[in-house]
Structure 1
Amino acid sequence: MTGLLRTALVAAAALAALTSLSQAQGFPEHTVKIVVPTAPGGAIDLAGRLVAEKMQAKWGKPVTVENRPGAAMRLGAEAVQKSPSDGYTILVAHDGTMAINPLVFADLGYDPQKDFVPLGLVASIPEAVMVQVDMPAKSIVELIALAKKEPGRLTHASGGSATLLALELFKAMAGLDIRSIPYRGGAPAVTATITGETSMIIADLATGNAALQSDRIRTLAVTSLERSKKYPDVPTLNEAGVPGYEVNTWMGFFAPAGTPKEVVATIESAIKDAVAMPDVRARFETLGANVRSGTAEEMRQLLAKDVAKWATLVKEKNIKIAP
């Protein structure tokens, strides 16, 4: 390589770096879009809208929310993956989208740990086991007995891979056969159980809020190891008949891999500020969620931990979902 060519390449690299830094330092210069991979009304949608409002107030630039439901949240995630790595299109997702989908979909078009960079963890929330009120089961013990008496008759409304694996873990630990009926997101799945289309649902407390308040639903247990502060009279699955059962949904933000570090830091800072605000914390806590740090590092660590956790169940039960 000649000295002149080497100098030209170094200059080009330096110019590219300066351009990237300049763009990052001015971020955001226009509208930022947050993609929600589910229908409106669920926990992910709530997280996206709460944080979007605070981002917009902090930056003085529009922050919009776009719902892209379908294909067990893959459509929304893939749309963000294919977007420019500039921070203007980001994803809010939960463990189903990022930790579980890669394990159950053989044809998944993205790798959450390679194709995305974490921006911040905003909340975690227990799930609840709920049955349609006309079901004779009034406890987890009675639900297990009913499912064993008539294998395959009971149906579960699955709003995505997270609710599906929560069901699969329940089935595996209790030795049950319950059929999963897929829906386009958590909110439609909850509605299906309220109206009697399905026998039961395991849904996080935020997504299942309408069901928890409905006289058409009976709540049998929560999935955390400790009772919910919001629903202290509801037993845990661990104490109600399935020892050791624990599932908590989390929600966090992600950007396409390759997004400049300065842009990532700007978005992470806005997320941390948002979850520290009393009104945001109060809204999450009203729905039974636990507010988290908002940091990218906590999100990165939890994602890796959950991938390892669910991989064991998927392998043991040979769980796959048809494309």
Structure 2
Amino acid sequence: MRSIAAIMTAASLISTAAATQAQAQLPPYPAKPIRIIVAYAAGQGTDVATRLLGEQLSRELGQPFVVENKAGAGGILGTELAAQAAGDGYTLTMGTNATHVLNQYLYAKMPFDPEKDFEPVVMVGTFPMVIAAGSGTPYRAVGDVLDAVKRTPGSSDIAMPSTSARLVLEFLKERSGVPLFGIPYKGSGSAMTDVLGGQLAVTIDTPLALRPHLAAGKLRAIGVTSASASSLVPGVKPVAEQGYPGFEFVAWNALYAPKGTPAEITKLLNAAVNKVLARPEVRQRLLELGFEPAGGTPAALGDFAKKERQRWAPIIKAAGIRAD
């Protein structure tokens, strides 16, 4: 009778041979250029960060990663194009908190399902929003603004240059119970002009947009929306530590693949991106672009996006925020 050890050895050899044969049947990847669809215009933060990542991945995996811009409808057009692509690993998209979480609650109709039509690959970078007051105001903390509005409603209108800014405002209203009033703007430019000119006291914007004005002393950062302090705005106290525990809003960029992309491919891409994000020069460049480098597993990205949907869906509905 053959020994148990001999049987186990034989079984192991058979299993290894089968796995090797199955692996040999898989086509090599990547074997041709890969496109990354960016649902925003060239030159914007998401686009620039994606091009940086693409250059690094090209060196890492030996094939060109080509960025294709398809802007429009708040990121819906480009993301729809990615959702319709074949799940073969040769089309990816740089998703954001707008394209893969918020838009489905902001628009009446969506041509794709951000959860069902995509495979999460990896979180690339995150950034908080910053609440900033004009240098001519007396505000040094978020509580100063809230106290002023309590005393004199409408005394401190807040510029909202983006949907993210409005969500931060609505979340702060919900948590504080203070009737804050926001003025919507189409982009940072005009909002910044009015705050710098003293027409409005406060704005909510990205660290990158605010950085030159903070450095020049024209604006004063009084709160950051990340759960803990951010290296993007050193020394600025989180809103969560100013009397509102649990307050958190971060915008983010993450790599996604169309549904059906093989797990072997998403794992390979995940490992490559994590390796790239660990490089000091890449991390430094992302920080300069206004992103805190992230990384992690595909499962972690999927879980994070699911929690984001659970957090923001009721706030958007309660505030009646619409984009169409």
TM range (shorter): 0.7 to 0.9
Read off the aligned partner of 2:320 and give its amino acid letter. I
User: What is the DSSP-based 3-state SS (H/G/I as helix, E as strand, rest coil) of the residue aligned with 2:254?
Assistant: strand
**In the alignment, is residue 321 of structure 1 matched against residue 322 of structure 2?**
yes
When residues 301 and 136 of structure 1 are mapped into structure 2, their CA distance, relative to the original with a 3 A threshold, is: same
Instruction: Give aligned pairs, total.
Output: 295
When residues 210 and 232 of structure 1 are mapped into structure 2, their CA distance, relative to the original with a 3 A threshold, is: closer
**In the alignment, is residue 158 of structure 1 matched against residue 161 of structure 2?**
yes
Q: CA–CA distance in 2 between the matches of 1:190 and 1:245?
A: 23
When residues 48 and 163 of structure 1 are mapped into structure 2, their CA distance, relative to the original with a 3 A threshold, is: farther
Q: Residue 89 of structure 1: CA displacement?
A: 2.6
Q: Residue 236 of structure 1: CA displacement?
A: 1.9
The 8 Å contact of residues 49 and 289 in structure 2, kept in 1 or not, is answered as: no
Q: Residue 260 of structure 1: CA displacement?
A: 2.9
Q: CA–CA distance in 2 between the matches of 1:263 and 1:280?
A: 23
Percent identity between the two aligned chains: 26
Q: CA–CA distance in 1 between the matches of 2:31 and 2:210?
A: 35
Read off the aligned partner of 1:101 and give its amino acid letter. N
Stretches of structure 2 that go unaligned for 5 or more consecutive residues are 1-21
Per-residue displacement from partner, 1:108-158 (whole Å, max 9, x unpaired)? 222111011111112233221124556664542333345553539825333
State the partner residue of 1:10: none
TM-score under structure 1 length normalisation: 0.77
State the partner residue of 2:122: 120
**In the alignment, is residue 256 of structure 1 matched against residue 258 of structure 2?**
yes
State the partner residue of 1:192: 190
Q: CA–CA distance in 2 between the matches of 1:72 and 1:131?
A: 28
The 8 Å contact of residues 171 and 178 in structure 1, kept in 2 or not, is answered as: no
State the partner residue of 2:109: 107
Q: Residue 44 of structure 1: CA displacement?
A: 2.5
Stretches of structure 1 that go unaligned for 5 or more consecutive residues are 1-17, 184-188
Q: CA–CA distance in 2 between the matches of 1:29 and 1:145?
A: 59
Q: CA RMSD in A?
A: 3.0
Per-residue displacement from partner, 1:256-313 (whole Å, max 9, x unpaired)? 1122333323322321221122211222345664432343122111111211122232
When residues 152 and 44 of structure 1 are mapped into structure 2, their CA distance, relative to the original with a 3 A threshold, is: farther
Q: CA–CA distance in 2 between the matches of 1:280 and 1:49?
A: 12
State the partner residue of 1:310: 312
Read off the aligned partner of 1:104 and give its amino acid letter. L
When residues 181 and 172 of structure 1 are mapped into structure 2, their CA distance, relative to the original with a 3 A threshold, is: same
**In the alignment, is residue 169 of structure 1 matched against residue 167 of structure 2?**
no
Read off the aligned partner of 2:316 and give its amino acid letter. V
Q: Residue 221 of structure 1: CA displacement?
A: 1.0
Read off the aligned partner of 1:237 and give its amino acid letter. V
Deviates more, 1:296-305 or 1:70-79: 70-79
State the partner residue of 1:269: 271
When residues 272 and 66 of structure 1 are mapped into structure 2, their CA distance, relative to the original with a 3 A threshold, is: same
User: What is the DSSP-based 3-state SS (H/G/I as helix, E as strand, rest coil) of the residue aligned with 2:194?
Assistant: coil
State the partner residue of 1:186: none
When residues 180 and 60 of structure 1 are mapped into structure 2, their CA distance, relative to the original with a 3 A threshold, is: farther
Read off the aligned partner of 2:52 and give its amino acid letter. L
TM-score under structure 2 length normalisation: 0.77
Q: Residue 78 of structure 1: CA displacement?
A: 1.8
State the partner residue of 1:15: none
Per-residue displacement from partner, 1:222-267 (whole Å, max 9, x unpaired)? 1123223453432222334545422222321111112233332332
Q: CA–CA distance in 2 between the matches of 1:118 and 1:207?
A: 28
State the partner residue of 1:5: none
The 8 Å contact of residues 129 and 220 in structure 1, kept in 2 or not, is answered as: yes
Deviates more, 1:221-230 or 1:140-149: 140-149
Larger radius of gyration: 2
The 8 Å contact of residues 39 and 69 in structure 1, kept in 2 or not, is answered as: yes
Read off the aligned partner of 1:252 and give its amino acid letter. A
Deviates more, 1:300-309 or 1:242-251: 242-251
The 8 Å contact of residues 118 and 299 in structure 1, kept in 2 or not, is answered as: yes
Q: CA–CA distance in 2 between the matches of 1:75 and 1:207?
A: 25
The 8 Å contact of residues 157 and 192 in structure 1, kept in 2 or not, is answered as: no
User: What is the DSSP-based 3-state SS (H/G/I as helix, E as strand, rest coil) of the residue aligned with 2:248?
Assistant: coil
Q: Superposition pairs for residues 146-295 of structure 1, below 5 Å?
A: 146-147=148-149, 149-151=152-154, 154-160=157-163, 162-174=164-176, 175-181=178-184, 183=186, 189-196=187-194, 199=200, 200-206=202-208, 208-240=210-242, 242-286=244-288, 289-295=291-297
